[in-house]
Protein backbone atom coordinates (compact mmCIF):
# COMPACT_ATOMS: atom_id res chain seq x y z
CA UNK A 1 0.00 0.00 0.00
CA UNK A 2 1.39 3.33 -0.92
CA UNK A 3 2.24 5.68 1.87
CA UNK A 4 1.07 9.14 2.63
CA UNK A 5 3.83 11.69 2.92
CA UNK A 6 3.89 13.54 6.20
CA UNK A 7 2.38 16.99 5.89
CA UNK A 8 5.26 18.55 7.76
CA UNK A 9 7.58 17.30 5.13
CA UNK A 10 10.42 15.43 6.82
CA UNK A 11 9.80 12.23 4.98
CA UNK A 12 7.56 13.03 2.15
CA UNK A 13 7.28 10.27 -0.31
CA UNK A 14 5.37 9.60 -3.41
CA UNK A 15 2.08 8.30 -2.34
CA UNK A 16 1.73 5.97 -5.17
CA UNK A 17 3.61 4.00 -7.67
CA UNK A 18 1.66 5.48 -10.55
CA UNK A 19 1.89 3.57 -13.78
CA UNK A 20 4.86 1.51 -12.80
CA UNK A 21 2.82 -0.14 -10.10
CA UNK A 22 -0.67 0.16 -11.38
CA UNK A 23 0.20 -0.71 -14.89
CA UNK A 24 -2.83 -2.36 -16.26
CA UNK A 25 -5.10 -0.53 -18.56
CA UNK A 26 -7.97 0.98 -16.72
CA UNK A 27 -6.38 0.86 -13.29
CA UNK A 28 -6.58 4.58 -13.38
CA UNK A 29 -6.57 5.78 -9.87
CA UNK A 30 -4.08 4.95 -7.23
CA UNK A 31 -4.53 6.75 -4.04
CA UNK A 32 -4.83 7.03 -0.38
CA UNK A 33 -7.92 5.63 1.25
CA UNK A 34 -9.53 9.01 1.43
CA UNK A 35 -9.00 10.09 -2.12
CA UNK A 36 -11.47 8.72 -4.55
CA UNK A 37 -11.65 8.81 -8.27
CA UNK A 38 -14.97 9.40 -9.85
CA UNK A 39 -13.57 8.50 -13.19
CA UNK A 40 -15.65 6.79 -15.82
CA UNK A 41 -15.43 3.13 -16.68
CA UNK A 42 -12.16 1.35 -17.29
CA UNK A 43 -12.94 1.15 -20.97
CA UNK A 44 -13.58 4.88 -21.16
CA UNK A 45 -10.39 5.61 -19.27
CA UNK A 46 -8.39 3.45 -21.62
CA UNK A 47 -9.76 5.55 -24.44
CA UNK A 48 -8.47 8.67 -22.78
CA UNK A 49 -11.51 9.99 -20.97
CA UNK A 50 -10.92 12.69 -18.34
CA UNK A 51 -10.34 11.55 -14.78
CA UNK A 52 -12.16 13.27 -11.93
CA UNK A 53 -10.49 13.45 -8.53
CA UNK A 54 -11.69 14.57 -5.13
CA UNK A 55 -8.81 16.51 -3.55
CA UNK A 56 -10.68 17.71 -0.48
CA UNK A 57 -8.46 15.68 1.86
CA UNK A 58 -5.18 16.60 0.25
CA UNK A 59 -3.21 18.34 2.98
CA UNK A 60 -0.56 21.02 2.39
CA UNK A 61 2.73 19.40 1.45
CA UNK A 62 1.13 16.19 0.21
CA UNK A 63 1.26 14.64 -3.20
CA UNK A 64 -0.88 12.07 -4.95
CA UNK A 65 -0.51 10.42 -8.30
CA UNK A 66 -3.31 9.49 -10.64
CA UNK A 67 -3.14 7.85 -14.00
CA UNK A 68 -4.47 9.59 -17.05
CA UNK A 69 -4.05 8.19 -20.54
CA UNK A 70 -1.52 5.73 -19.17
CA UNK A 71 0.65 8.48 -17.72
CA UNK A 72 1.23 9.45 -14.10
CA UNK A 73 -0.13 12.85 -13.16
CA UNK A 74 1.16 14.37 -9.96
CA UNK A 75 -1.09 16.55 -7.84
CA UNK A 76 0.65 18.45 -5.07
CA UNK A 77 -0.82 20.81 -2.55
CA UNK A 78 1.96 23.33 -2.12
CA UNK A 79 2.61 25.02 1.20
CA UNK A 80 3.39 28.70 1.54
CA UNK A 81 7.02 27.72 2.09
CA UNK A 82 6.99 25.83 -1.19
CA UNK A 83 5.45 28.76 -3.03
CA UNK A 84 8.00 31.14 -1.53
CA UNK A 85 10.78 28.81 -2.67
CA UNK A 86 9.42 28.86 -6.21
CA UNK A 87 9.69 32.63 -6.28
CA UNK A 88 13.24 32.62 -5.03
CA UNK A 89 14.34 29.96 -7.54
CA UNK A 90 12.95 31.59 -10.66
CA UNK A 91 16.28 32.97 -11.83
CA UNK A 92 17.69 29.43 -11.94
CA UNK A 93 15.01 28.16 -14.28
CA UNK A 94 15.34 27.84 -18.04
CA UNK A 95 11.79 29.04 -18.69
CA UNK A 96 10.54 30.53 -15.42
CA UNK A 97 7.23 31.80 -16.74
CA UNK A 98 6.64 28.70 -18.83
CA UNK A 99 6.24 30.62 -22.05
CA UNK A 100 7.08 27.70 -24.27
CA UNK A 101 4.32 26.41 -26.54
CA UNK A 102 2.28 23.27 -25.92
CA UNK A 103 1.31 24.42 -22.47
CA UNK A 104 -2.20 25.42 -21.45
CA UNK A 105 -2.58 29.15 -21.05
CA UNK A 106 -3.13 28.72 -17.33
CA UNK A 107 0.32 27.11 -17.03
CA UNK A 108 2.10 30.14 -18.44
CA UNK A 109 3.01 31.69 -15.13
CA UNK A 110 5.56 31.16 -12.39
CA UNK A 111 3.47 28.61 -10.47
CA UNK A 112 2.24 26.93 -13.68
CA UNK A 113 -1.17 26.43 -12.20
CA UNK A 114 -4.75 27.62 -12.02
CA UNK A 115 -4.60 27.80 -8.23
CA UNK A 116 -1.15 28.66 -6.89
CA UNK A 117 -1.37 26.08 -4.12
CA UNK A 118 -2.24 23.16 -6.41
CA UNK A 119 0.26 21.78 -8.88
CA UNK A 120 -0.90 19.39 -11.58
CA UNK A 121 1.82 18.02 -13.84
CA UNK A 122 2.65 14.91 -15.83
CA UNK A 123 5.38 12.98 -14.01
CA UNK A 124 7.47 12.08 -17.03
CA UNK A 125 10.85 13.68 -17.72
CA UNK A 126 10.82 15.98 -20.72
CA UNK A 127 14.24 14.68 -21.81
CA UNK A 128 13.81 11.02 -22.70
CA UNK A 129 10.82 10.02 -20.66
CA UNK A 130 12.23 8.61 -17.43
CA UNK A 131 10.34 8.94 -14.19
CA UNK A 132 11.81 11.70 -11.99
CA UNK A 133 12.21 11.03 -8.29
CA UNK A 134 10.35 13.06 -5.72
CA UNK A 135 12.61 15.53 -3.89
CA UNK A 136 9.99 17.73 -2.31
CA UNK A 137 11.90 18.58 0.84
CA UNK A 138 13.33 22.08 0.65
CA UNK A 139 16.99 22.62 1.48
CA UNK A 140 20.00 20.41 2.16
CA UNK A 141 18.07 17.37 3.40
CA UNK A 142 17.24 16.74 -0.23
CA UNK A 143 20.89 16.05 -1.02
CA UNK A 144 20.62 18.55 -3.84
CA UNK A 145 22.19 21.56 -2.21
CA UNK A 146 21.43 24.08 0.50
CA UNK A 147 19.30 26.21 -1.77
CA UNK A 148 17.24 23.36 -3.23
CA UNK A 149 13.69 24.73 -3.63
CA UNK A 150 11.99 21.34 -3.56
CA UNK A 151 11.10 19.46 -6.69
CA UNK A 152 12.09 16.41 -8.67
CA UNK A 153 15.30 14.80 -9.84
CA UNK A 154 15.54 12.58 -12.89
CA UNK A 155 18.00 9.75 -12.20
CA UNK A 156 18.57 8.95 -15.87
CA UNK A 157 20.62 11.99 -16.88
CA UNK A 158 20.35 14.33 -13.92
CA UNK A 159 17.68 16.83 -14.91
CA UNK A 160 16.22 18.82 -12.05
CA UNK A 161 12.77 20.35 -11.80
CA UNK A 162 11.24 22.54 -9.14
CA UNK A 163 7.81 22.22 -7.52
CA UNK A 164 6.19 23.84 -10.51
CA UNK A 165 7.79 21.31 -12.85
CA UNK A 166 10.11 24.00 -14.20
CA UNK A 167 13.43 22.70 -15.46
CA UNK A 168 16.63 24.23 -14.16
CA UNK A 169 18.99 25.93 -16.59
CA UNK A 170 21.64 23.75 -18.21
CA UNK A 171 19.84 20.44 -17.81
CA UNK A 172 19.48 17.71 -20.45
CA UNK A 173 15.71 18.17 -20.33
CA UNK A 174 14.86 20.94 -22.81
CA UNK A 175 11.51 22.08 -21.47
CA UNK A 176 9.40 22.12 -18.35
CA UNK A 177 7.32 19.13 -17.34
CA UNK A 178 3.97 18.99 -19.08
CA UNK A 179 0.91 20.47 -17.45
CA UNK A 180 -2.06 18.42 -18.64
CA UNK A 181 -5.35 20.06 -19.49
CA UNK A 182 -7.38 20.27 -16.33
CA UNK A 183 -10.09 22.27 -14.65
CA UNK A 184 -11.94 22.53 -11.34
CA UNK A 185 -15.53 21.35 -11.29
CA UNK A 186 -15.76 22.64 -7.72
CA UNK A 187 -13.26 23.74 -5.09
CA UNK A 188 -12.13 20.20 -4.39
CA UNK A 189 -13.17 18.40 -7.56
CA UNK A 190 -10.44 18.34 -10.15
CA UNK A 191 -10.95 17.08 -13.67
CA UNK A 192 -7.79 15.98 -15.46
CA UNK A 193 -7.85 15.65 -19.21
CA UNK A 194 -10.17 18.47 -20.06
CA UNK A 195 -10.09 22.20 -19.59
CA UNK A 196 -12.91 24.65 -19.51
CA UNK A 197 -13.16 24.75 -23.27
CA UNK A 198 -13.51 21.00 -23.37
CA UNK A 199 -10.07 20.23 -24.76
S1 LIG B 1 15.33 11.18 -19.18
FE2 LIG B 1 15.35 12.59 -17.52
S3 LIG B 1 17.26 13.55 -17.69
FE4 LIG B 1 17.23 12.20 -19.38
- Return the domain boundaries, the chain: 18-192
Query: Strands 63-68 and 118-122, how do they pair?
Result: unpaired
In this prediction the pTM is 0.78
Going from the Cα of 157 to the center of ligand 1, the distance in angstroms, rounded, reads: 5
CB 127 within 8 A of CB 117: no
Evaluate: CB of 127 within 6 angstroms of ligand 1: yes
Instruction: Please write the tens of the pLDDT for every residue from 155-180.
Output: 999 999 999 999 999 999 999 999 99
Evaluate: CB of 124 within 6 angstroms of ligand 1: no
**Sign of the alpha-carbon dihedral angle for 113, 105, 20, 166:** negative
Going from the Cα of 100 to the center of ligand 1, the distance in angstroms, rounded, reads: 19
Q: What is the pLDDT, as a whole number, of residue 82?
A: 96
Q: What mean pLDDT value characterizes the chain?
A: 81
Instruction: Please write the tens of the pLDDT for every residue from 81-129.
Output: 999 999 999 999 999 998 887 789 999 988 999 999 999 999 999 999 9
Going from the Cα of 126 to the center of ligand 1, the distance in angstroms, rounded, reads: 7
| CATH class of the region 18-192 | mainly beta
Evaluate: CB of 26 within 6 angstroms of ligand 1: no
Q: What is the pLDDT, as a whole number, of residue 165?
A: 97
Residues facing 29 on adjacent strands: 66
Of ligand 1's listed atoms, the one at least distance from the Cα of 157 is 3
Strand order in the sheet with 63-68: 63-68, 71-77, 118-122
Amino acid sequence: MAQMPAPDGKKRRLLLGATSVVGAVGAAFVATPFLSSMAPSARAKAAGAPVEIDISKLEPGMMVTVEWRGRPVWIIKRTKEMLDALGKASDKMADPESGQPLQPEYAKNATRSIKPEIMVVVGICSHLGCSPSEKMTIGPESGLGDDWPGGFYCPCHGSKFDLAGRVFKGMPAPVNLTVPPHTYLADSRLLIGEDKKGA
